[in-house]
Amino acid sequence: MLKPKANCILTTEEAKLVFPWIKEFRMCDSYSSNLARCADAKKGRMCQMKSHDCHVFVECLLSIEFS
């Protein structure tokens, strides 16, 4: 039996819209690392994020992107 996907999973089309936005987004100095380096638009994933960077992305940036 397969479980349904969670509501927070992006479709391929949605990911194609979000990753270019991440690549262009700039943060204040020393607030978080350069998230553009963590975004891999070709594979559609975020990689090598530290815990604070992940927190900033999930709590702050996703709410901006989807509001």
pLDDT tens-place string over residues 4-34: 877 777 787 887 788 888 788 777 666 667 7
Residue 1 pLDDT > 60, yes or no?
A: yes
pLDDT at 22: 79
DSSP H or E segment with residue 39:
strand 39-40
Q: What's the pTM?
A: 0.55
**41 φ/ψ sector (left φ>0, alpha ψ -120 to 50, else beta):** alpha
* Residue carrying structure tokens 């975004």: 39
Retrieve residue 38's tokens: 């963590």
Cα 2 to the center of its chain, rounded Å: 26
